[in-house]
Structure 1
Amino acid sequence: MTELTVAKTRHRDHWVLALTGELDVLSCPQVRRALDELLAEEEPHAIIDITGLKFCDVAGLRLFVTGTGRFFEAGGWLRLQGVCGTLLRLAELLASRSVLSFADDHTPTALPDAH
């Protein structure tokens, strides 16, 4: 098992959380804590860059879905970047893809459109 690392970087008016390693039921609390910190801000905006993930299970996908809702309810937005075909397929199978938002993979620090 590869440990998960979470790197938080500020870009203009949003944050980028870069995840590296494996995101599963055991490592989800680490990402949840990082998201909770960002949710404490007024109008939180964040991109989760998952380009460096080697593995993401259903618990990780569930975390992205619930995080998207929590950010929206707080008046902000949460986007995913670097999503591979496997995770997209999993989201489609679980009917979660319509809930998730995706950032432009070619411009990792570009500000996505507002909700």
Structure 2
Amino acid sequence: MELKVSTRSHAGHALVAITGEIDLYTAPHLQSEFTRLLQEGPARVVIDMSGVDFCDSTGMNVLLSALKRMKERGGALEVAAPRPAVRKILQVTGLDSVFTVHEEVPQELLIAEGS
């Protein structure tokens, strides 16, 4: 399964939309996207996971690594709209208390996207 990552930035915020499966084979692609994005220095990154069907421990580690790097810079990394399978992984691992998890993509990012 292919992993698609698209990023839109606006006013210090970045919305990262991920589609596909995040696993051992696709995680390096996501990692490189986060590395590139973090060099741009947004204060807030929201990951739209509504298109993610599956995420294994490798994928969760990529997200945790990005969260750690954002926090080191005083920024925030949040997860939005995880599907039930991904939400369950977040709950079982306790990561739902580590990440800020939104039911859907925050409205202010969707508004910013259209401008």
Fold shared by both chains (TM-score > 0.5): yes
Give the C-alpha shift of residue 82 in structure 1: 1.1
**Number of residues of Structure 1 aligned to a counterpart in Structure 2:** 110
RMSD between superposed Cα atoms in Å = 2.1
Give the C-alpha shift of residue 43 in structure 1: 5.1
Kept in 2: contact 1:48–1:79 (CA 8 A)? yes
Runs of 4+ in 1 over 6 A off after TM superposition: none
**More displaced 10-residue stretch of structure 1: 29-38 or 101-110:** 101-110
Are 1:86 and 2:85 counterparts? yes
Aligned residue for 2:71? Answer: 72
The gaps in structure 2 that reach 5 residues or longer are none
Q: CA 1:38/1:58 → structure 2, altered by over 3 Å: closer, same or farther?
A: same
- TM-score norm. by structure 1 comes to 0.81
Q: Distance in 1 between matches of 2:47 and 2:55?
A: 13
Kept in 2: contact 1:43–1:75 (CA 8 A)? no
The AA in structure 2 aligned to 1:94 is: T
The AA in structure 1 aligned to 2:44 is: H
More helix by share: 2
Aligned residue for 1:39? Answer: 38
Give the C-alpha shift of residue 35 in structure 1: 0.8
% identity of equivalent residues: 25
